[in-house]
Structure 1
Amino acid sequence: MRFVDLSVMVEPTASEPVPVEIEFVSHAEGADILGRAGGIGREEFPDRLGISLEHVKLTSHSGTHVDAPAHYGPFSEGKRARTIDELPLEWFYGPGVLLHCDTGAKEPVSAQEVETELKRIGHTLAPGDIVLINTGADRLWGSAEYFTDFRGVTREATAYLVEHGVKVMGVDSFGFDAPFSRMLAAYQASGDQAELWPAHVYGREREYCHIERLSNLTAISRPTGFTVACFPIKLKDAGAGWSRVVAMVEE
């Protein structure tokens, strides 16, 4: 069994427009903190060292994370949209399907592109499949362009996957829709609200989750025949949760 890490690092980087902040508390400082209630300091600890810790400030959408239906809107399928802590664990462990959409195109991945790629790899979607879309965007991780230069996925492609039984899908870019600036410019030019976060908004009609900021998808090295684990952290009432996404590939 080969394990492939599909997650980006949670770290301060130009790729995160909302900065991740990590404050490190050293082992020596940890001794002072732990001993304070008992009136002792680091001098009393073995080697004058306690245990370290970190204070981390980030959003629920920093790093590799799973978006819940509650992120897309307050309702989904006519009911209150479920938050990340309410979703069934069965959704987040299952057969993986890797779609290669790293074509150099600028526009979002279309439904026709998804259908063509499925035919190329000879796979028929089944309920429980977890679909991962490789667009090559993870090559920009670490740069500001990661936030601005990627394809995204269309509403139509999202609907195609959901209508074929897929509950969880993911992409290797900052967001699932097109870059923010591109969507806003399209709306300003047309006045059409459908230009604004269309794949996300589709989640108000049909319940599904998508994973943003995957990486290393090419290391899976096969389109099917692997298992994906992408369990999200249980954040109470939250619209997203961080995930250490892993592909397990039988050698």
Structure 2
Amino acid sequence: MRVIDLSTPIDASKWEPEAVVHEITTPAEGARHMSAEMLEHFGVHFDPAVLPDQELLSIDTLTLTSHTGTHVDAPSHYGSRASYGEPRHIDQMPLEWFQRPGVVLDISGFGVGAVRAEQLAKELDRIGYRPQPLDIVILRTGADRLAGTPEYFTSFTGLDASAVHYLLDLGIRVIGTDAFSLDAPFGHMIKRFQESGDASVLWPAHFAGREREYCQIERLANLDALPVPFGFTVSCFPVRIAGAGAGWARAVALLDA
């Protein structure tokens, strides 16, 4: 079996709108910390010098949002109420949604803005595939080449409401993108709203999740490494964070060797 990594790393050295803080306790510091803890809590004197190289274990402490790096959005992220009932959190979503046959749609030629349903249908016709219920559809926008820069958050292609509902009508319950968001960039949406006064242009892909239950995978990467547009499996199990609107995921594509 061939495994292709479709995930972006969580990297505190890269630019993020909400900065990642990564604090590292080195193995040597870990040994000294453990020695102090042993004395404080158990009254035991322990000399780290008896350890190989006077080291114990490293510890990484991170401060970040659940939407940093590749992650899965749960229905509760889209709003506190939904027409179908109480939106579920990420730890409540069915695991069978997150390892399914995948299909990648190339929308990299559309530029900044939102793709419509008919444009997705045209791309499916081009590759000759009809999605089956619970397939995972992932969108290659090409935005992942900008990851780690401010432009990653302002220059990408999203979906409008018609495109999301088109996929949901096919039985899709997980839609992924290599862009920062499944919606068009914030600035693009605000400009359209200011010009038209039409609030439906604001976060239509996310707000579709208030009408129908589905999950998004955002901030995928490396979709151009997929050798075929379908005929592979996507595995993207989210971390089980209780009561959260999203969970980080190590998304991969699984192909027969």
Given the two structures, how large is their TM-score scaled by the length of structure 1? 0.96
1:218-229 matches, cutoff 5 A: 218-229=224-235
Deviations 1:37-67 (A, max 9, x none): 1332422322201100111000011110000
Which residue of structure 1 lines up, in the alignment, with residue 41 of structure 2?
Answer: none
Deviations 1:172-228 (A, max 9, x none): 101110111111222222222212111100100000001100000011110111001
RMSD: 1.2
Q: Hey, what's the Cα distance between the residues in 1 that align with 2:165 and 2:48?
A: 58
Aligned partner (choices 54, 57, 68) of residue 48 of structure 1: 54
Pairing 1:87–2:93 present: yes
Q: Hey, what's the Cα distance between the residues in 2 that align with 1:181 and 1:104?
A: 17
Which piece of structure 1 moves more, 38-47 or 190-199?
Answer: 38-47
Q: Hey, what's the Cα distance between the residues in 2 that align with 1:104 and 1:162?
A: 22
CA change 1:135–1:22 in 2 (3 A) is same
Q: Hey, what's the Cα distance between the residues in 1 that align with 2:83 and 2:172?
A: 16
Task: Write the letter of the residue equivalent to 1:154.
Answer: D
Task: Write the letter of the residue equivalent to 1:10.
Answer: I
**Are the equivalent residues in 2 in contact too, given 1:15–1:146 (CA < 8 A)?**
no
Aligned partner (choices 148, 158, 161) of residue 155 of structure 1: 161
Deviations 1:127-183 (A, max 9, x none): 120001001111111211001111111111111101110000100101110111111
Pairing 1:248–2:254 present: yes
Pairing 1:31–2:31 present: yes
Which piece of structure 1 moves more, 216-225 or 178-187?
Answer: 178-187
Q: Hey, what's the Cα distance between the residues in 2 that align with 1:213 and 1:193?
A: 25
1:56-205 matches, cutoff 5 A: 56-205=62-211
Q: Hey, what's the Cα distance between the residues in 2 that align with 1:150 and 1:227?
A: 25
Percent identical among aligned pairs is 47
Three-state SS of the structure 1 residue aligned to 2:97 is: helix
CA change 1:163–1:81 in 2 (3 A) is same
CA change 1:86–1:43 in 2 (3 A) is same
Which residue of structure 2 lines up, in the alignment, with residue 7 of structure 1?
Answer: 7
Q: Hey, what's the Cα distance between the residues in 1 that align with 2:15 and 2:54?
A: 38
**Are the equivalent residues in 2 in contact too, given 1:154–1:198 (CA < 8 A)?**
yes
Q: Hey, what's the Cα distance between the residues in 2 that align with 1:175 and 1:100?
A: 16
Q: Which runs of 5 or more residues in structure 1 are unaligned?
A: none
* Aligned structure 1 segments of 4 or more residues deviating by more than 4 angstroms: none
User: 1:22, CA displacement in angstroms?
Assistant: 0.4
How many aligned residue pairs are there? 251
Three-state SS of the structure 1 residue aligned to 2:158 is: coil
**Are the equivalent residues in 1 in contact too, given 2:190–2:202 (CA < 8 A)?**
yes
Q: Hey, what's the Cα distance between the residues in 1 that align with 2:235 and 2:139?
A: 15
Aligned partner (choices 183, 205, 213) of residue 207 of structure 1: 213
**Are the equivalent residues in 1 in contact too, given 2:84–2:212 (CA < 8 A)?**
no
